[in-house]
Amino acid sequence: MRPSAVRPPPGRFARLRRAIRLAIPLATCLAGMGCTRPEPLFVSKADLDRAHTIGDVATICVGLKMKEDETREYAAQKLKDIDDPASACLCERLSRDGTWDPAVFNGLANANKDERVGCVAKLLDDPQLKDRPGAATAMLKVKAPAVHARLVAAANGDADLDVQAAALPVLRGTKDPKEVQMLIDGLKRGGVWGANAALNLAGNPVAKDALRGAVQTGDARTKAAALNAYRDTRAEDWPEVACAALDDADPSVRAAAVRAVDATRSPTILACMASHLKKAEPDSAVRMALLETLSKDAAPEAAKALCDAIPFWVRTYVSDVAPSEKSVEDIVYYQNDRDYENSLACAQTAFNAGGYSACGKAYLGARVNEFGGKVRYTACKPAGEAAGGGGGSGSAGVVEF
């Protein structure tokens, strides 16, 4: 029989030739000429930096799939300015688990090119998207023209009123005549729309007449917002308009009018507020606004208004319980905070005026003595509970200093 042919083991040069034949296709593949590089399962921020350096967009796209928020945000930052068709993966990852992805939108902050991020505008077109108002708010970070236009459309007429309200800030400070007119017309809508329209028109001289009209005839929410907006137009009659608002039927408007005059130092408005301090005000928020605003105003008229109003305030608002410190009844605290040098004189004059409840008299007597005076008064509560010291524990008594 003929012996079986047995191939001799390859020699050293044969093995080298075989290795070269195998290496050539591998090198071609790695060079991107003959195969597709497998997508990594995980990437870190460091991986994204390396991928960005060599232009490996596919790897950066993987970053948008990662569980870690900071990785997805970082990947979006890298992709928003890359001029490569592969960067379109960004448009496919704007939402996650049925809702918009906050991390991705953080990464897209200030992106302004339609060819990169214009697709963001389509996000609101999905009625099934969870939290569409939140998506509208997130879209405000993206400055691309297409996104701006979509938000304007949403603000003007989205079926969901919450989406309208969320999109309205896109018009803040606009100079576009059509958008300004949209806001002026929107003042008459009232509610959230009217209030936001007023905020967006703040300081715009074109809207001066419309804002004044909104203060005078709008609903409460629009009036409150329009007060500040009209002030910022530097209208000459603003003090008179604000003064009239101090007598509005709605307490939220009265409080907004007080807050709006903060630090204006207008003699007209300060005289109006001084007068209002001596009117019975049923709403505690308005009373607190008056006290806090005047105590922070550097004008001498503000200090005088607080001092002069002490007797009326104590007679009107202090009955059977002495005021606690910094409460809305504690007008002397706010007077002292504004003009401590005259606090003793103000408290002493008020104490001598009379006409108070026992607690009102005790409150003023305690303040006089605290500021260095010496008066007698009857405590309205057991010692330790009244504004001033008192007689024996458990009973009211006469206090002498």
pLDDT digits (tens, 9 = 90+) for 42-65: 999 999 999 999 999 999 999 999
Q: pLDDT class for 9, splitting at 50, 70, 90?
A: low
pLDDT of residue 390: 38
Query: What average pLDDT score do residues 309-326 get?
Result: 95
Q: Is the pLDDT of residue 357 over 60?
A: yes
Q: Is the pLDDT of residue 318 over 60?
A: yes
What phi, psi does 378 have (nearest 5°)?
A: -95, 125
Q: Which two tokens stand for residue 193?
A: 């729309």
pLDDT of residue 38: 74
pLDDT digits (tens, 9 = 90+) for 227-243: 999 999 999 999 999 99
Q: Is the pLDDT of residue 326 over 50?
A: yes
Q: Is the pLDDT of residue 401 over 50?
A: no
Q: Is the pLDDT of residue 35 over 70?
A: no
Judge contact between 211 and 229, C-beta under 8 A.
Answer: yes
> Exposed, middle or buried by CB within 10 Å (0-12, 13-18, 19+), for 371?
middle
Taking the CA atoms of residue 144, residue 150, residue 152 and residue 155 in that order, the dihedral angle to the nearest 10 degrees is -130
Q: Is the pLDDT of residue 153 over 90?
A: yes
Q: Is the pLDDT of residue 3 over 70?
A: no
Separation between Cα atoms, residue 335 and residue 358, nearest integer Å? 22
Query: What average pLDDT score do residues 327-345 get?
Result: 97
pLDDT digits (tens, 9 = 90+) for 157-203: 899 989 998 999 999 989 999 999 999 999 999 998 999 999 999 99
Separation between Cα atoms, residue 179 and residue 175, nearest integer Å? 7
Query: What average pLDDT score do residues 296-325 get?
Result: 94
Mean of the per-residue pLDDT values of the chain? 87
Separation between Cα atoms, residue 264 and residue 299, nearest integer Å? 9
3 state DSSP class of 164: helix
**Amino acid (one-letter) located at 28:** T
CB burial string 252-283: b at 16+ within 10 A, e below: ebbbbbbbbbeebebeebbebbbebbeeebee
Q: Is the pLDDT of residue 285 over 70?
A: yes
More confident site: 124 or 29: 124
Separation between Cα atoms, residue 378 and residue 195, nearest integer Å? 50
CA dihedral over 301, 305, 308, 310, signed as positive or negative? negative
What does the DSSP 8-state code read for residue 95?
A: E
Separation between Cα atoms, residue 330 and residue 352, nearest integer Å? 18
Q: Which two tokens stand for residue 124?
A: 């609101």
Residues in the chain: 401
pLDDT of residue 40: 87
Separation between Cα atoms, residue 364 and residue 123, nearest integer Å? 63
Separation between Cα atoms, residue 106 and residue 102, nearest integer Å? 6
Minimum mean pLDDT among 24-38, 68-82, 190-204, 290-304: which range?
Answer: 24-38
Q: Is the pLDDT of residue 8 over 70?
A: no
Q: pLDDT class for 146, splitting at 50, 70, 90?
A: very high
More confident site: 255 or 397: 255
Half-sphere exposure of 112 (CA within 13 A, CB side): 2
Judge contact between 363 and 335, C-beta under 8 A.
Answer: no
Judge contact between 333 and 326, C-beta under 8 A.
Answer: yes
Which of 2-11, 17-26, 118-127 has maximum average pLDDT? 118-127
Q: pLDDT class for 304, splitting at 50, 70, 90?
A: very high
Judge contact between 246 and 254, C-beta under 8 A.
Answer: yes
Separation between Cα atoms, residue 265 and residue 275, nearest integer Å? 15
Q: Is the pLDDT of residue 382 over 60?
A: no
Q: Is the pLDDT of residue 24 over 70?
A: no
In the chain, domain spans: 36-170, 172-235, 261-401
> Exposed, middle or buried by CB within 10 Å (0-12, 13-18, 19+), for 300?
exposed
Q: What is the pTM of this model?
A: 0.73
Q: pLDDT class for 36, splitting at 50, 70, 90?
A: low
Q: Is the pLDDT of residue 296 over 60?
A: yes
Query: What average pLDDT score do residues 91-100 get?
Result: 94
Integer-rounded Cα radius of gyration of the chain: 36
pLDDT digits (tens, 9 = 90+) for 199-228: 999 999 999 999 999 999 999 999 999 999
Which of 4-8, 222-226, 260-264 has maximum average pLDDT? 222-226
pLDDT of residue 39: 77
Sequence-separated (6 or more) residues with CB below 8 Å from residue 258: 246, 273, 286, 289, 290, 293
pLDDT of residue 41: 87
Separation between Cα atoms, residue 319 and residue 354, nearest integer Å? 14
